Structure 1
Amino acid sequence: MPRGDTALPVTLDRESNVPLAVQLADALRESASSGHLRGGDRLPSTRALADRLGVSRTVTAAAYEQLHAEGWILGKHGSGTYVTTSPPAPRPERRSVVEREEAPSARLALLPGVPWADGLDKAAWRRAWRASADTPPAAYLPRAGLAEYRAAVAEHLLRHRGLDAGPDSVLATGGTTAAVIELAAAVLRPGDLVAVEEPGYQRAVQAFKRAGLRVAPVPIDGEGLRPDLVPGGVRAVYCSPAHQYPMGCRMSASRRVELVERARAHNFLVVEDDYDGELRYDVAPLPLLASLAPDVVVHLGTTSKILTPTLGAGWMVAPPAVTTAVLEHRELTGTRPSPAGQHVLVELARHGDLGRHLRRLRRELSERRSMLVTAFGRAGVPVLGDDAGAHLVVPLPTYEDERERLAAGKRRGILLDGLARHFARTPTAHGVAVGYAGCSREGLADCLATLVELVRPRPR
C-alpha cells in the first residue's frame, strides 16, 4: 500500500549560486538514496511543496520534472506523485582512488630508488616527445615491443652493460616489477618456491606472493646473496647482483659462478634485477649474470632509475622458453607494455641524448656520494655499500635506533628510509638508507649538517 505524504527534510539556501530547483532535486534524490524516502511514498503536490518551502511553483515543478526524467518519481493521474524505488543496499564508503600521497610531503626526501629526474636535459626531453608524437597511430602493436625500441635497448646493453643481446632477444616491459609480475604469471605456477634476497626488494616479493608463489628469503652478506643457503626445490632465485637492494653491495665473482652452476644443476631460473647497474663510479661493473649464463638467467632492466618512471619502460632478456611463455601470456591476456615510453627512449637514443645523460648522471651522483661519504667520515659515521647507485646505508645497532632516527628526520623535515621494511621476515640488520638522487645538489648540501647530526652514533 502506498504511504501518505512524507515529511521531507529539505532546506534550501537562497544565498547559494546553485539554483533552487537543482537544490530541491538534489535533496529529494539524496532522501530517496539514503532511505528516508522509500518506494511507494507519496510526495506533496508541486503547489503544496512550493507553499511549504516558500518558493514559486516553477521551482518545485522543475525539480519534479528532473527527478521524473531520472526515474526517481512517477506521477499517477488523479492520485499524486510517488517515489518509484527503494534505496539500494547500504552504500560502501566512497574512497579516493589515491589512498595516500605517492609524493613525499617532507621538505627534503632522501629516499632510495628515486632518480635524478631534474637532471634530464629539458630541451632533449621535449624534442623526444615531439618526435614521438609524429609517429602515426598504430592499428597493431607487437607484443614483444617496438622493433626500434628493442634495437635501442640492445645497443644500450652492449655499450653500458657489456651484454651482447641482439634485438630479437629483447622484450619490452613496463619496468622490472611489471616484468616480475609477468614472469610469475607466465613462467611460474601457484605453489612454486622462489628464493629472494633478505633484505631485498619487497615489491618483487609481494608480486610473487600475490601470484600464489611461496617465497623463501635467503640471507645476504657483504658479497651478496649466499647461494649455499638457497633451499632445494626452488623454481627461481630473484636477486640484484650488480648493486644489491637495499644494502648496496655487489655479488662476488665466485658467488656468481656458484649461483649459475646451482641453477643449471637444479634446473631453476635466476632472475637478475639490474635496476641501476649503469651507475658505478669506482670500477667497471662485474659482468652481468646474463652474459655468464644466458641459458638460465632472466635479465631485467628499467629506465625508471637512469631516467624517470614517467616512461614506464623496461626490458627483459631471457632464454627462449621464457620469452615464448611471456609472449603467449600477453597474447592470451591481451596485454602489452605501453609504446609511448618506448618511442621516447628511441628518440633519446637516436640523438645521443641517452648517452650524454648517463655520463652526466654518473658524474653528478658520484660527486654527491663523495660529499656524503666525506661528511659522514669526518663525523665518525660508518657507511655501507659500494661506490655505486643512488643511495648508501648507515648501519645502526637496533631497530629502536632506526625508528628514532627516522622520526627525528621527519620532525626536521627530512624523509629517510629504514632497513626494517625491506625484510620479509624479522629484521636482522638495522640502519638508515639515504638516497641522494631525488633532490637538488643544493638541497643536499644545505641539509648535510642536519643529516650528519641525525645519523651520528649516539654514546651508550
Structure 2
Amino acid sequence: MLDELPLALDRTLAQPLSAQIADGLRAAAAQGALRGGDRLPSSRALAHRLGVSRTVVASAYDQLHAEGWLTGRRGSGTYLTTAPAATPTPAEPPTARQPATEHFDLRPGAPCAEAIDLAAWRRAWRAAADHPPLVHKDRGGEPAFRAAVTDHLLRHRGLGAHTETTVLATAGTSSAVGELAHALFRPGDTVAVENPGYQRAVGAFRAAGLRVLPIPVDDFGLRVDQLPDGVKAVYCTPAHQFPLGARMPAARRVELVEFARRTGAILIEDDYDGELRYDTAPLPLLAALAPDVVVHLGTTSKILSPSLGIGWLVATPAIADALLDHRVRTGTGPAPMGQQVFTAFAAHGDLARHLRRLRRVLPPRRALVVNALRAVGAAIVGEDAGSHLVVPLTSAAAEQRVLESGLTMALAIDGLARHHLDQDRRHFGVAIGYTALPWKDLVAAVPIAADCLADARASVA
C-alpha cells in the first residue's frame, strides 16, 4: 500500500529529507491513505525506494515515534497508531508576513519535548508510581537516582565516580545555586558571574545577600584574566556559555582551575547544554579536572522536561555535608517523584536512546534556522551545538526593533539586553532557540524571525 503513496522528495528545499518523509507520512495518515494498524516498511526498504540513506528514514521514523504516530512491535515491525486528529487546513494559509494566529516561542533554554519517546516516558511514570508512598524522604536524594546520575555522568559527560566527591539530588540548577549561596557563604561575600549571563543564578545569589561581580565574556567564555582575588566563588557555563554560546577551551579551563586553587575560590560549573553536542566530542568537565575546587551542576529540564523538577550536584564531601545541613535546618530538599521517574527512564537504556535521538534531530533544526537567517544576511555566533544560537546586532536600537517586530508577529524572541548585569553593554543581539516548538511550527516561525531581523537591520542601517 505504501508503494502507492506520493512520497516525493525535493532535494532543492532547505527542509531536511527526513522532515519531508515525516511530513509525507503525517499527511497520508491525516488524509486516510494510511490508517491505524497499517504496517510501514522497514527503514532499509523505504530508504532503498526513496534513494536516501537508511539514517534519513530512521530519523523520520524516530520523529513520528516521538509524536505518537508510530509504534513498534517486537519482531513484527513498525505500525501506524490511531493517528492524532488532523488540524483543519485554513481557507487561506498565512504567509511569512501575516500575523501568526498562535504564539511561537523561539526563546532559548527549553527542551525538545517532541523528541521524547512517549511510550518510554509513560513507562517511566508507571514504574515510578509502583513505588509505595514514602514516609520520610532522603534529603540527599533517592539512592537509586544518585546511582543513575553517576552512571549518566560517566557515560555521557566523562565524569567518573570519585572518592573525593559526592552526588546529591537537587530541584534544578537555579535551586541548587540558591542552596549553595546560603550553605557556603555569608551575606556580603562576593561571587563572580559571567556578563552577560544566567540571570536566575544571579537572582539566587542576590537573594542570599551575596555581592555579584560581573565578569566580561569573549569568544572563549569567561575572561579569567578579569577575575580579582578575593571572590568566594565563580559561577560559569563552560560547556555552552549562556547566552552567547561559546565553549571554553581547555587552556582557559586550566587557567580557571589554577585561579581557584591559588585564591581558594569555589568554581560552580553549570553544565548548560552539556549533553547537547553533535559536532565534536565534549571537552573535559571542570569537575573532572579539579574535583577538589569545583561544584558541578546538571539538570533534566533541558534534556527531558522541567516537569520532573530535578537535577544533580557533584561536590566534595565537605560541601555536600554543608548543603545537607542547610536542608535539615530549612526542611527543604528535592521531591522524590521526579527522581524516581528519571531513574526508571534511565534504567533500561531509554535515556541513552533519547540523548542519541536528540543528537540526530537537533542538527536539522539548527540548520533550518541558520540557513534562513544567513539568507537575509544575518551572522551567527556560538558553537554548533546546544539548543539556541545568537545573532549579533550593531546596537541596542536594532535589538529592540527585532523584539518589537517579533511581538507583532506573535514571536517570542530573547534579546541579549536582559542578560547583562550592568549598563556597560558590550553585546547586542538576539538569542533564538530551536527546541521548544514542534517541527511544523518551527518551519512556520523561522521565516518570520528572519524577516524581523532583516527589517531591523534595514531600519537602523
TM-score range normalised by the length of the shorter chain: 0.7 to 0.9
Report the secondary structure of 2:161's partner residue: coil
Q: Determine which of 220, 225, 236 is the counterpart of 1:228.
A: 225
Question: How far 1:106 sits from its partner (Å)?
Answer: 5.4
1:406 alignment partner in structure 2: 403
Equivalence for 1:418: 415
Paired residue for 1:254? 251
1:99-145 alpha-carbon deviations (Å, 9 max, x no partner): xxxxxx95211010011123211111111111111101122222110
Equivalent residue, structure 2, for 1:125: 121
CA distance in 2, matches of 1:272, 1:165: 17
SS of 2:214's equivalent in the other structure is strand
Letter of the 2:448 counterpart: T
**Equivalent residue for 1:389?**
386
Match of 1:439, SS? coil
Q: What's 1:288 paired with? A: 285
1:178-197 matches, within 5 Å, as 178-197=175-194
Structure-to-structure mapping, 1:325-404, within 5 angstroms: 325-404=322-401
Q: How does 1:29-428 map to 2 (within 5 A)?
A: 107-165=103-161, 169-426=166-423, 427-428=425-426
Give 1:430's aligned residue.
428
Q: 1:106 to 1:200 in 2, by over 3 A?
A: farther
Rounded to whole Å, the distance in 2 between the matches of 1:136 and 1:413 is: 45
1:281, 1:388 within 8 Å by CA — same for their partners in 2?
yes
The aligned residue for residue 64 of structure 1 is: none
Judge conservation of contact 1:218–1:229 (CA < 8 Å) in 2. Answer: yes
**The 10-residue stretch of structure 1 (440-449 or 208-217) with the greater mean CA deviation from structure 2:** 440-449
* Cα distance change on mapping 1:323 and 1:306 into 2, 3 Å: same
Q: CA deviation at 1:221?
A: 0.1
Query: Once structures 1 and 2 are overlaid, which stretch shifts more, 111-120 or 372-381?
Result: 372-381
SS at match of 1:220: strand
- Tell me the secondary structure at the aligned position of residue 139 of structure 2: coil
Deviation of the 1:445 alpha carbon: 1.3
SS at 1:434 equivalent: strand
2:330, 2:412 → 1: CA distance? 40
Q: CA deviation at 1:166?
A: 5.4
Deviation at 1:275, TM superposition (A): 2.3
- How many angstroms apart in 2 are the aligned matches of 1:383 and 1:458? 18
CA distance in 2, matches of 1:349, 1:361: 15
Q: Distance in 1 between matches of 2:279 and 2:115?
A: 21
Does the residue aligned with 2:379 lie in a helix, a strand or coil? coil
8 Å Cα contact 1:165-1:317 kept in structure 2 = no
CA distance in 2, matches of 1:334, 1:413: 42
Q: Which has the larger radius of gyration?
A: 1
Q: State the Cα deviation string for residues 204-253 of structure 1 (Å, max 9, x = none).
A: 00110110000100000001001110122100000000000000001111
1:182-211 CA distances to partner (integer Å, 9 max, x unpaired)?
A: 000111111110000000001100110110
SS in 2 for 1:237: strand
1: distance between equivalents of 2:402 and 2:446?
15
CA distance in 2, matches of 1:206, 1:333: 19
Give the aligned residue type for 2:134. A
Matches of 2:421 and 2:166 in 1, distance apart? 33
Distance 2:415 2:376 in 1: 20
Q: Distance in 2 between matches of 1:447 and 1:208?
A: 36
**Alpha-carbon distance, 1:165 to partner:** 2.3
After TM superposition, give the deviation of residue 379 of structure 1 in Å: 2.5
Larger RCO (CA within 8 A; separation ≥ 6): 2
Q: Supply the distance in 1 between the matched residues of 2:206 and 2:237 (Cα, whole angstroms).
A: 18
Per-residue CA shift, 1:153-184, capped at 9, x if unaligned?
A: 00000111000025972100001101001000
Q: Conserved in 2, the CA contact under 8 Å of 1:161 and 1:277? A: yes
AA aligned to 2:124 is: A
Per the normalisation by structure 2, the TM-score is: 0.75
Contact 2:378 2:391 survives alignment (8 Å) = yes
How many angstroms apart in 2 are the aligned matches of 1:447 and 1:416? 11
On the 8 A contact 1:106/1:410 being kept in 2, the answer is no
Q: Secondary structure at the match of 2:327?
A: helix
- Percent of aligned pairs with the same amino acid: 56
Aligned mates of 1:414, 1:335 — CA distance in 2: 37
Report the RMSD for the aligned CA atoms in angstroms. Answer: 1.4
Equivalent AA in structure 1 for residue 458 of structure 2: R
Q: Secondary structure at the match of 2:458?
A: coil
Residue equivalent to 1:454: 452
Describe the SS at the equivalent of 1:385.
coil
Q: What secondary structure does 1:181 align onto?
A: helix
Deviations 1:58-105 (A, max 9, x none): xxxxxxxxxxxxxxxxxxxxxxxxxxxxxxxxxxxxxxxxxxxxxxx9
Hey, what does 1:12 align to over in structure 2? none
Partner SS state of residue 136, structure 1? coil
3-state SS, counterpart of residue 356 of structure 1: helix
Whole-angstrom distance in 2 between the partners of 1:106 and 1:318: 44
Supply the distance in 2 between the matched residues of 1:401 and 1:142 (Cα, whole angstroms): 51
CA contact (8 A) 2:241 2:272 kept: no
TM-score after normalising by structure 1: 0.76
Q: Count matched residues.
A: 356
